[in-house]
Structure formats: structure tokens, C-alpha cells
């Protein structure tokens, strides 16, 4: 039985570590877990090995090799996007033609956030969420995106605070100020990514707030809604990993 936690822990330990090099992460010392280079699929293979889902002796293959593993039905099984959860993977590209720049792959930290080794502006291992690039990588307008679960992956129990509007949230400070959004931001009923989305701000809109909270792995600004009269929350950065804010102050 594989461990999603072990796979994710390794993936996070590689955040901003290897340089993205197409074809990297495969030969000699570059095939090791501490390599200086990786590409999307060699990183994916190493993560699957760390989780115990594929043999240590397996070649760090390509997206085409990942498709092959799914066809064989021994290591990966295909799922729908609706089923996606932590530890599942995506493969972008046409099976049979996904080699090189025509394919990509990564791991879901949750539905709405991925970790992957990628080129573009990053050229390393990064995380991307709904507010920063997630839908760009999962866009299937030009190339199909398919979803898979490592066989043997189970949801590992985690202590979790029950999220309700009446929960006493951790307030960092009171602060009367404003921020400028750089992308679409969800307005939520309480400071959790599980909370209902009640509205959205578009990019380059001002948000006036009166307090700051820290919950659910995010920093949040908060205010009383003019129309609802209820307290609302907007996440503006993560508290670990990539902490780059998507709201400017």
C-alpha cells in the first residue's frame, strides 16, 4: 500500500530546488532524489517512487510512459476530474504524441492546487492554485488533460477542524487598510478554502478591510459586507511553500 503523505512530503521538499531541464532527472546522479535538474515527468516518477507506488528500479520515464502505466492498469487508474483529491495526478497531452513540450504532468495537493516541475516563468518545482496558474495548466482547449490515481492510494486521516461560520478563527490583527487584487479572488463566508464562495473580486479591484486572519494554510483579509452585513473573508497568500501574495498592499 502506497503513502500519499510520503509522496507529497517529498514533492514539497523539492519546492524551488531542481532546475527544470527537459530530459533532466534521469542519467547518473540526476536520477537520484537529490538531483540538480528534473523535468515534469522525472519529478513525477520520483514522487511516485517515494510514495511506494512504483518500483525504485523503474526508469524515470516520460508522459508517454505514464500513459503506458495507466494502460497496463498495475500502477495508475484513470479517474474523472470530479473524483480528484490529494495525491492524484494529471497528464496533459495527446496519448502517443505527448513527448517533449507537447505534454505535462503534476500532482494534486488538493482539488484546486498542484505541485509540479515546470518551465515558463518558473523553471523549477512550484505550486499553483486557483488564484495563480492552476487553470492554465489544466486548460484542455488545445491538449486533453486526463486524471489518474496511484493504485493503492488511500485517503490518510488528518485531524481537521470542523469549518463552520461560528468557529472562533485565529485573528492576527485589526487593521483598517486596503489591497489591490492581481487576479480573480474568491469571497468566502469564513476563512477556509472549504467555505462557500459568496462572490468574487475581479483582477485590479480594491478591497477595503478591517482585520487579518490566519487559517487553513492561508492569510485572509476580512471585512463586513455592505449588502449582506455579514463578515466576509478573502485569502491573499499561503502561509508556507510559495507565499507570494496575489493581493498587493
Tell me the per-residue pLDDT of 7-21, one tens digit each, with 9 for 90 and over.
999 999 999 999 999
DSSP 157: P
In Å, what is the CA distance from 76 to each residue of 152, 158, 165, 182, 234? Answer: 9, 24, 38, 37, 36
Split at pLDDT 50, 70, 90, the class of 156 is low
Query: In this structure, how many other beta carbons lie within 10 angstroms of the beta carbon of residue 90?
Result: 20
Find where cell 472562533 sits: 168
Measured in degrees and rounded to the nearest 5, phi and psi for residue 228 equal -85, -30
Residue 44 cell numbers, joined: 513525477
Reported confidence tier of residue 2, pLDDT bands at 50, 70, 90: confident
Whole-number Å distance between alpha carbons of 190 and 169: 9
At residue 196 the predicted structure's pLDDT band, cuts being 50, 70 and 90, is confident
Q: Report residue 125 as a C-alpha cell.
A: 518545482
Task: Please indicate whether residue 121 or residue 199 has the higher confidence score (pLDDT).
Answer: 199
Which residue in 25, 29, 16, 98 sits closest to 63, CA to CA? Answer: 98
Grid cell for residue 123: 523553471
- The CA distance from 12 to 111, in Å, is 16
Among candidates 239, 164, 170, which has minimal Cα distance to 194? 164
Backbone angles phi, psi at 243, to 5 degrees: -100, 15
pLDDT band, very low/low/confident/very high, at 164 (cuts 50, 70, 90): low
- CA–CA dist 209, 70 (Å, integer): 48
pTM score of the predicted model:
0.65
Name the β-bridge partners of 52.
Answer: none
Mean pLDDT value across residues 115-139? 90
> 145, exposed or middle or buried, with CB in 10 Å at 0-12, 13-18, 19+?
middle
Summarised one tens digit per residue, pLDDT across range 49-72 is 999 999 999 999 999 999 999 999
Percent of the chain at pLDDT > 90 equals: 77
pLDDT of 130 above 90: no
Write phi, then psi, for 207 (nearest 5 degrees). -120, 120
pLDDT score for 7: 97
Reading the block at residue 85, the C-alpha cell is 483529491
Is pLDDT of 85 > 80?
Answer: yes
27: CB partners within 8 A, 6+ apart: none
pLDDT band per the 50, 70, 90 thresholds, residue 29: very high
Q: Residue 176: what pLDDT? A: 93
* pLDDT score of 161: 52
Q: Distances from the Cα of 242 to the Cαs of 12, 62, 116, 239, in angstroms? A: 10, 26, 13, 8
- The SS3 call for residue 5 is helix
pLDDT of residue 40: 97
Q: How many residues does the chain have?
A: 249
Residue 64's CB: how many other CB atoms inside 10 A?
A: 17
Q: What is the pLDDT of residue 163?
A: 54
pLDDT at residue number 28? 94
Amino acid at each position: 500500500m502506497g503513502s500519499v503523505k510520503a509522496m507529497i512530503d517529498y514533492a514539497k521538499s523539492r519546492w524551488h530546488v531542481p532546475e527544470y531541464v527537459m530530459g533532466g532527472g534521469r542519467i547518473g546522479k540526476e536520477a537520484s532524489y537529490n538531483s540538480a535538474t528534473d523535468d515534469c515527468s522525472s519529478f513525477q516518477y520520483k514522487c511516485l517512487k517515494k510514495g511506494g507506488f512504483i518500483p525504485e528500479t523503474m526508469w524515470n520515464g516520460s508522459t508517454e510512459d505514464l500513459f503506458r502505466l495507466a494502460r497496463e492498469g498495475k500502477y495508475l487508474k484513470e479517474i474523472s476530474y470530479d473524483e480528484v483529491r490529494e495525491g492524484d495526478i494529471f497528464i496533459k497531452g495527446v496519448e502517443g504524441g505527448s513527448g517533449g513540450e507537447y505534454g505535462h504532468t503534476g500532482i494534486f495537493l488538493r482539488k484546486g492546487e498542484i505541485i509540479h516541475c515546470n518551465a515558463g516563468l518558473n523553471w523549477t518545482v512550484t505550486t499553483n492554485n486557483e488564484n495563480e496558474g492552476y487553470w492554465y495548466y489544466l486548460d484542455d482547449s488545445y491538449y486533453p488533460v486526463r486524471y489518474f490515481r496511484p493504485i493503492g492510494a488511500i485517503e490518510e486521516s488528518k485531524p481537521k477542524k470542523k469549518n463552520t461560520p461560528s468557529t472562533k478563527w485565529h485573528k492576527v490583527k485589526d487593521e483598517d487598510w486596503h489591497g489591490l487584487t492581481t487576479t480573480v479572488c474568491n469571497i468566502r463566508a469564513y476563512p477556509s478554502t472549504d467555505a462557500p464562495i459568496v462572490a468574487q473580486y475581479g483582477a485590479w479591484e480594491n478591497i477595503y478591510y478591517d482585520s487579518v486572519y490566519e487559517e487553513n494554510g492561508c492569510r485572509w483579509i476580512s471585512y463586513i459586507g455592505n449588502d449582506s452585513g455579514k463578515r466576509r473573508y478573502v485569502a491573499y497568500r499561503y502561509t508556507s511553500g510559495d507565499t507570494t501574495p496575489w493581493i498587493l498592499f
